[in-house]
Structure formats: C-alpha cells, structure tokens
Amino acid sequence: MTKLQDDAPAQAGLSDGWDEPRPTALLVLADGTVLEGFGLGAIGEAPGEVCFNTAMTGYQEILTDPSYAGQIITFTFPHIGNVGVNDDDIETVNIAASSGVRGIIVHADVTEPANWRATRHLDQWLKSRGIVGLSGIDTRALTALIREKGMPNAIIAHAPDGNFDFPRLKAEAAAVPSMDGLDLVPLVGTTQRYEWDETTWVLGKGYGRREGAAKHHVVAVDFGVKRNILRLLAERGCKVTVVPPTATAEDILALEPDGVFLANGPGDPAATGEYAVPVIRRLLDEKLPTFGICLGHQMLGLAVGAKTAKMHQGHHGANHPVKDETTGKVEIVSMNHGFAVDRETLPANAVETHVSLFDGSNCGIALTDRPAFSVQHHPEASPGPQDSHYLFDRFVAMIEEEKAKRA
C-alpha cells in the first residue's frame, strides 16, 4: 500500500533504476491514498464505493448481483477466478442494464480455470462486461482500512502502459458522490413486465421449468432482483410476474396477485423509497401477503415508519451468522448491504425476527397487523448456504393462509 503525493510521477511506481514490473492498475481513494497493482479485465477507469466481501466461493454470482451496482468489490479470499466463469451462474436478469459492480480487487493473479463447468477465463469475462480489475495488492490491508475508516469512495484505473494522470484521478476520486441519497435502482431494474417460470439448477439436468398449473400468483417488484430468487418462487409452484420498480399500486393490483415480493437492489433505500414506499403502503392496506429481501426489507421497514441508516462497513459475504428469533435457530447466510433498518425506529406493529450475530444489527421484521415479513440477507443462497430457503416456504404458507381466510 503506497501513499503518493500530488507531484508523483505520471508513471506509477517508476523511478531511476526501477527494475520491478511496472504497475498497470491503481485504486485511488478519495483521501488521496493510491494502491498500485496489476490490471485485469476492462481497460479504463470506474468510480465507486469500495467494500470487501468475505465469501470463498461464488464470485461470479457476486459480480452479477445487481445489489452491488456502484461498488468496487475487494475479495478477501485470495484465489478468485480459479474455477472460471459460465453462463449458468449469472444472477443478473436484466443483462442490458448497467447492473453489477464497477470494479474488482483481488490479491493473487487470476489463473487458468480448473473446473468442468468453466466456459471462459475470468479475465476475458470481465473484459466482455466492462469491469475494471486490480490484482497484486495486499487485500488484507485494504480490508483493515475499510474496517477502521469505513467504505471509501475511489477510482479504479487500468492502463496497460502504466501511464496515469495522478492529479486528475485524485480529483475525480474526491468527487465521487456518496452512496447516501443515491437511487441506483433505475440502473438495474426492468423497464418492462415479464413472467418467470425457470426453477433451480440440478446436477446433470441444468435448470428446469415450473410444471403444471400455478398454485399461486406472485408479483415481484424488481429493484434489482436475482435469478435464483425467482427460481425458488417458481419451484414452489408460483406463477411469477416481474414488474418495474416504478410500477404503481394500481398496476400491481390489476394483475390480481396472491402475494407480492419486494426484491433486493442497490443504493440508498430512502432515495428509492420516495416512489416505492407509497406503493408498498397501499399494497399493505390491501393485506396482500408480502415478502421482502435486502432492499425490499428496507422498503418494508420504511413503509411502516421505520428509518434506515448507512453502515460503517456494511455486510458482504456468504458466511454471516443470523439468528431467527421466531425459532431460536442460527443460520449461516449470504449478505450484501451497506444500509440497515434502525431497530430503534421500528413501530409497535413491526416485530424484529432476525438479528445479525456479528454486530447485532436488524436482519428481519414481521408485521403483527398485516401478512408481511422481510429479511435483510439473501436467502436464495446464490452464493452461500441454503439455511434460509425455509423463508420461501414461509411466504407460500402465508399466501395459502390468506387465501383460506378470504375463501
């Protein structure tokens, strides 16, 4: 990790007699700190908020998670890229959107893939998606910096010739806007309504399709939804209709859903809530069974009067312990969020159902006067363990219970 001054030479790390390989990529933090390494992926520059992810597997699912829009991911696990990439593990539904990460930071050089499912090298795949990469730095030190000072804004830059304009990059890094107040959902959400019937992947068979007549109709509000979430709903016999994040309550009610799903997504929930919260409140008044994940959890919290707050370092990984207060069980879950619902602002009709055992932050709520609940983590396990799959069964059971009441 190197701190360079504004009068640093235009060629990173170069001086008279320099005999080491020339750095071809930089991470320039908003405070002027410069980290030198070697480039991979796309050539160019990208701004973003730097976070760290502690997952040891599932880097392709992480890199295609729309919830990471606007962020640069530092992987704490050193051997990223060793299983290559394939077309099956992409989580982004809206491929045409500017979804996913701005950049990737890894410790070790990306090796040739060694996995029977691999179809491409990670470096080639990053280039094709326009994602700038940086390798060869001490990711432990960068992670420690984030833990101490919080998630910094930065510019990640890759130039094969090693020529960088330091004053310009430092000025641009200092000008990267804070995640506070940013509504990034329009970058990743769908703009058109569509239906989904693909089910989960099975060894030797691949992905399946929902069979027979649908048992229930679920409308999913797409704030940046992941494919495996939709697959788990379809696998439970649900007809899934995905609608844009700007869909009105009238648009959704006209589809006559049995339940509503509020998807994951990026950015500041308070900013997205400007247009999403009034819609959710109307749906709650209709007593439609509602299930929210990640940003959807935060949207539900805002809809009942709670507040959200920016976290110091966020939760990003596939190994986070969370306790389900309704059962007393502890589950290991996948996390990806930089904002959290402030439990101190929860109203009387919102019961806390899940708690992070890392820092005690809120990870789930359920309403006592409406058929609605939500969790902060990603229970679809893509990537991550499958401990939380039961939440999809809980949602379907809620739909069936409400159907029975109305009948």
Mean pLDDT of 78-96: 89
Spatial distance between the Cα atoms of 35 and 195, rounded to a whole number of angstroms: 45
DSSP string, 263-328: ----S-HHHHHHHHHHHHHHHHHTT--EEEETHHHHHHHHHTT--EEEEEEEEEEEEEEEEETTTT
Mean pLDDT of 278-289: 98
* Whether 121 is catalytic: no
Go through the domains of the chain in sequence order and give each one's CATH number. 25-174 (3.50.30.20), 185-406 (3.40.50.880)
* Whether 79 is catalytic: no
What would the pLDDT profile of 151-165 be if each residue is shown by its tens digit? 999 999 999 999 999
Spatial distance between the Cα atoms of 296 and 308, rounded to a whole number of angstroms: 12
* Catalytic-labelled residue, pool 36, 49, 61, 294: 294
Distances (CA, A) of 236 to 2, 118, 184: 52, 29, 30
**Are 318 and 334 contacting, i.e. CB atoms less than 8 angstroms apart?**
yes
pLDDT bracket for residue 4 (50, 70, 90): very low
What would the pLDDT profile of 320-345 be if each residue is shown by its tens digit? 999 999 999 999 999 999 999 999 99
Q: Token pair for residue 176?
A: 């990267």
* Whether 380 is catalytic: yes
What would the pLDDT profile of 195-228 be if each residue is shown by its tens digit? 999 999 999 999 999 988 999 999 999 999 999 9
Q: Which pLDDT value is given to residue 267?
A: 97
pLDDT bracket for residue 184 (50, 70, 90): very high
What would the pLDDT profile of 121-148 be if each residue is shown by its tens digit? 999 999 999 999 999 999 999 999 999 9
Distances (CA, A) of 234 to 62, 195, 212, 301, 330: 22, 10, 11, 26, 26
Average predicted confidence (pLDDT) for the chain? 93
